[in-house]
């Protein structure tokens, strides 16, 4: 081969090499730019409402990650997982239960009681998510609702006794607090922006195995009919979630908290393919309300809707017709209805709240859970094929716009308490108890005849040994319709008495 041909071949090879390098570099730059573009589009990752909830816990808006990719182009979960495990805690609960039999005659007529049985300690486990530097933790209500003591273990093995700040059975959420000022925590992401098919991580303590991370995708949003009553708008995921994951974190690939893992779909009690999480758009508001007011503020339109499942049993054809409606059909109004006062009518189909599209009741619930009584919303309805808008001032269940507040749950009782030493318990022949040290003239204890020296054995059949026990029991019924305490106790050398105290009375 002559010299000129060799030069031509080398020239072609050189051009091919340069072209390949340019192509590869161009692809990498384009890919990098594309990733940067996606990240920039997500720089404001929280909605306005979720931002307000994160402000309640002084979350640092800069503590987020970028979406990471492996060199092969696959999502990289390592950074999100590493950060999340430090913000997710192991929750251990201790509950004292007594199997003591109470004779009905004892209950109604105040005769003597059978000797107390030895209380039995039950231990439960779950997960929780630290959401602030100073130690506020979100978990599920069912993890802590009956606990006499709540212990929290961090990923670095530090253990703390946690206080139950408040709970909300309706959403199955509770807010805990541990003492400190420099805890790792997860910032709130935008659960509204989640898309079906998006990667998410479930972080928790399944089967008491701490710091466990599983990955999956969002399988559905606004999923209803998961649990009877209460919240009916869940994020459905296929990440493996098992007993012990309750109260743990659902995070996106940026390491942001987008949900609280709550339930699984299973006929065996273990993971069978799908799990459900409470969106942070709801959980964040519940936590912020409990912190600020002591109880959750719920706002209502004052409408009644038909239960499609109930209709389906009686009239399948009508149920099919209802299921085709895009929106929520107003079937009737409650007393003192906010929406009726604004001009809405039976037969209106709600299609949007403040321009957020409403396709079903679950989506309506998600939107209303953002607001408090007294907030004004713009409701878009379809009335006989025509679009109309109504400005509705939302109300509470009492039909007004007042914000309810709960302070110390024991304040209404109007009493101070003293612990009883084990030696004195032995002398009195009891295994649990706390003594009333003093009572106030305007409190419920004085009203119901409980005075200084009364020894409380149990409340609502739960043994009481400390003021923390009292706080937990009283706090656990704050959101129930029936706010009654059944106090079992006695005066030294007196018979056992059963006294009912209604906390809903003023």
Would you name the residues annotated as active-site residues?
142, 172, 246
* 8 Å CB contact between 146 and 124: no
The single residue listed with the structure tokens 């790792």 is 184
Strands (E), 131-256: 136-140, 149-153, 159-168, 173-177, 199-204, 212-223, 234-237, 249-252
Q: Which residues contact 12 (CB under 8 A, 6 or more apart)?
A: none
Beta bridge partners of 161: 151
Separation between Cα atoms, residue 95 and residue 143, nearest integer Å: 11
Torsion of CA 207, 208, 210, 214, to 10 degrees: 10
Question: Would you state the structure tokens that stand for residue 457, as one six-digit string?
Answer: 């054995």
* 8 Å CB contact between 365 and 233: yes
Q: Which residues contact 238 (CB under 8 A, 6 or more apart)?
A: 216, 217, 219, 273, 274, 275
The single residue listed with the structure tokens 């009518």 is 345
Separation between Cα atoms, residue 201 and residue 237, nearest integer Å: 9
Q: Which residues contact 262 (CB under 8 A, 6 or more apart)?
A: 140, 172, 234, 246, 247, 276, 277, 278
Strand 249-252 with 257-265, pairing: antiparallel
Separation between Cα atoms, residue 142 and residue 160, nearest integer Å: 20
Separation between Cα atoms, residue 320 and residue 183, nearest integer Å: 51
CA dihedral for 74, 219, 371, 324, sign (positive or negative): positive
**Strand, coil or helix: 254:** coil
Separation between Cα atoms, residue 301 and residue 393, nearest integer Å: 8
Question: Which residue in 485, 487, 483, 484 sits closest to 497, CA to CA?
Answer: 487
Separation between Cα atoms, residue 468 and residue 93, nearest integer Å: 14
- Element at 423 (helix H, strand E): helix 422-428
Count Cα atoms within 13 angstroms, Cβ side, for 57.
Answer: 34
* 8 Å CB contact between 254 and 66: yes
Question: Would you state the structure tokens that stand for residue 286, as one six-digit string?
Answer: 């519940």
């Amino acid at each position: 081969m002559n010299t000129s041909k060799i030069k031509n071949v080398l020239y072609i090879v050189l051009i091919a090499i340069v072209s390949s390098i340019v192509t590869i570099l161009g692809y990498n730059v384009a890919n990098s730019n594309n990733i940067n573009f996606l990240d920039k589009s997500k720089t404001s990752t929280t909605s306005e409402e979720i931002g307000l909830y994160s402000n309640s816990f002084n979350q640092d808006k800069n503590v987020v990650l970028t979406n990471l990719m492996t060199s092969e182009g696959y999502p990289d979960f390592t950074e999100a997982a590493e950060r999340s495990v430090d913000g997710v805690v192991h929750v251990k609960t201790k509950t004292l239960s007594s199997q003591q039999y109470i004779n009905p005659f004892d209950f109604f007529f105040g005769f003597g009681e059978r000797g107390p049985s030895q209380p039995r300690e039950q231990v439960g486990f779950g997960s929780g998510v630290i959401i602030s530097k100073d130690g506020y933790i979100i978990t599920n209500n069912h993890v802590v609702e009956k606990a006499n003591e709540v212990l929290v273990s961090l990923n670095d093995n530090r253990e703390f006794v946690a206080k139950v700040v408040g709970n909300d059975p309706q959403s199955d959420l509770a807010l805990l607090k541990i003492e400190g000022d420099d805890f790792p925590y997860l910032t709130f992401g935008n659960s509204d922006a989640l898309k079906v098919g998006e990667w998410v991580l479930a972080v928790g303590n399944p089967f008491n195995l701490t710091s466990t991370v599983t990955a999956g995708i969002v399988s559905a949003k606004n999923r209803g009919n998961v649990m009877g009553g209460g919240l009916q708008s869940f994020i459905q995921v296929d990440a493996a979630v098992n007993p012990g994951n309750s109260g743990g974190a659902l995070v996106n690939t940026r390491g942001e908290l987008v949900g609280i893992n709550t339930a699984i779909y299973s006929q065996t009690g273990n993971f069978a393919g799908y799990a459900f999480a409470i969106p942070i758009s709801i959980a964040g508001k519940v936590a912020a309300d409990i912190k600020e007011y002591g109880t959750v503020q719920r706002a209502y339109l004052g409408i009644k809707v038909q239960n499609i499942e109930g209709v389906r049993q009686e009239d399948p054809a009508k149920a099919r017709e209802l299921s085709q409606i895009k929106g929520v059909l107003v079937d009737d109004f409650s007393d003192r209805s906010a929406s009726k006062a604004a001009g809405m009518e039976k037969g209106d189909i709600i299609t949007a709240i403040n321009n957020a599209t409403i396709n079903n009741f679950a989506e309506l619930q998600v939107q209303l859970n953002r607001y408090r009584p007294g907030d004004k919303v713009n409701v878009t309805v379809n009335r006989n094929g025509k679009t109309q808008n109504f400005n509705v001032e939302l109300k509470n269940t009492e039909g007004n716009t007042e914000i309810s507040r709960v302070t110390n749950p024991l304040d209404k009782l109007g009493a101070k308490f003293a612990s009883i030493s084990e030696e004195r318990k032995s002398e009195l022949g009891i295994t649990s108890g706390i003594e009333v040290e003093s009572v106030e003239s305007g409190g419920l204890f004085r009203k119901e005849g409980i005075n200084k020296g009364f020894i409380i054995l149990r409340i609502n059949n739960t043994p009481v040994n400390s003021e923390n026990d009292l706080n937990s029991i009283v706090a656990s019924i704050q959101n129930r319709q029936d706010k009654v305490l059944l106090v079992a106790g006695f005066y030294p050398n007196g018979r056992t008495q059963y006294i009912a105290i209604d906390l809903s009375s003023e």
